[in-house]
Amino acid sequence: MEKRIGKQTICFENPPSVKSYYSIVSKKESEGPLGSYFDRIEKDMMFGEDSWEKAESKFLQTAIQEVIKKSNLSENDIDYIFAGDLINQCFSSHFAARETDVPFFGLYGACSTMAESLSLAAMSVDGGFAKNALAATSSHFCSSEKQFRMPLEYGGQRTPTAQRTVTGSGAIILSSDNSSPVHVTHITTGKVIDFAVTDPNNMGAAMAPAAADTIRAHFNDTGFSPSDYDLIVTGDLGNVGKNLLFDLLENEIDIKDVYNDCGLLIYSLKSQDVHAGGSGCGCGASVLCGKLLKDMEEGKMNKLLFIATGALLNCESCFQGESIPAIAHAVRFERR
């Protein structure tokens, strides 16, 4: 079987099954529309630690440990961990992996990391290099604000296009054992796309072109159409990026009837003062591991296209006059 189809997509010969999944979020996220779906709510954003960065690492560490328990496996049964986050040198992931005895691949795809880690985990399982591979990521509102924008103590005014970084983590174990009805059947790997957006407070505008490019590639490579899906969901374009995505795909691909965005699902824009919606690695990860996979497991959805989007800036690039390149990776889940 030819696994590679088209330029950017892989169709798995032995689609890995979703062995288990786990989500943990903080108080703000629990107050949104999806509050009842998360496995754990940690109301203390510091999580008992003395820094935001250590707290984020603990969110991720908890997700990794609990998803292994939930799967009835042990650490010895996990062949690889694929994980990353937003903090310099993937601090949170490295320190979380330090508490395990599992071979580890550290990743950086910004907010696309959940789809990136799932893609690589799925490839390792389908290729026979792993029986069980764990994909995970995290983000934290305070650690991200501190690194990418202004110190919280500054109390700066947030622009209407700004999004709130989700404090939370999600983890998934993909397995070759077919123990679950939910499988990863295809992945479409994104390209770095840059439409010369320079505003670090408008991530939706920076990432929407990458999402559009990956959606085009997925449908061109596979021959699928939007009607083949119960839901097409982006990671965290928010309100601004969502509308731009529709504009970019206009007269090409009409996804409006089956589309939503994790940054719009996790918060209530009317009552929670999150401006354009949610963002961060933990946004797509917690929504996928909180609500979406539960819906698939229960038969409420059969086919899901999860597209996590990432803005590939760092805390210096914008000050150096650089624009914001972005990427989006797509993962197709199917209930069989």
Q: How confident is the model at residue 141 (pLDDT cuts 50, 70, 90)?
A: confident
Q: Report the C-alpha gap between 276 and 217 in whole angstroms.
A: 27
Distance, in Å, from the CA atom of 329 to the CA atom of 334, rounded to the nearest integer, reads: 17
Q: Angle CA(98)–CA(101)–CA(107) in degrees, nearest 5?
A: 55
Q: Could you tell me the sign of the dihedral formed by the alpha carbons of 52, 102, 78, 99, in that order?
A: negative
Going along the chain from its start, the domains and CATH numbers come out as: 4-175 (3.40.47.40), 182-335 (3.40.47.40)
What pLDDT is attached to residue 143? 79
Q: How far, in Å, CA of 32 to CA of 180, rounded?
A: 29
Which residues are registered as beta bridge partners of 190?
A: none
Instruction: Say if residue 151's pLDDT is above 70.
Output: no
Condensed to tens digits (0 to 9), the pLDDT of residues 254-300 reads: 999 999 999 999 999 888 989 889 999 999 999 999 999 999 999 99
CB 65 within 8 A of CB 117: no
Rounded Cα distance between 145 and 259, Å, is: 29
Helix (H) or strand (E) holding 208: helix 203-222
Q: Is residue 204 over pLDDT 60?
A: yes
Q: Which residues touch 51 (CB under 8 Å, ≥6 apart)?
A: none
Tokens of 297: 């497991």
Burial (CB count within 10 angstroms: exposed 0-12, middle 13-18, buried 19+), residue 81: buried
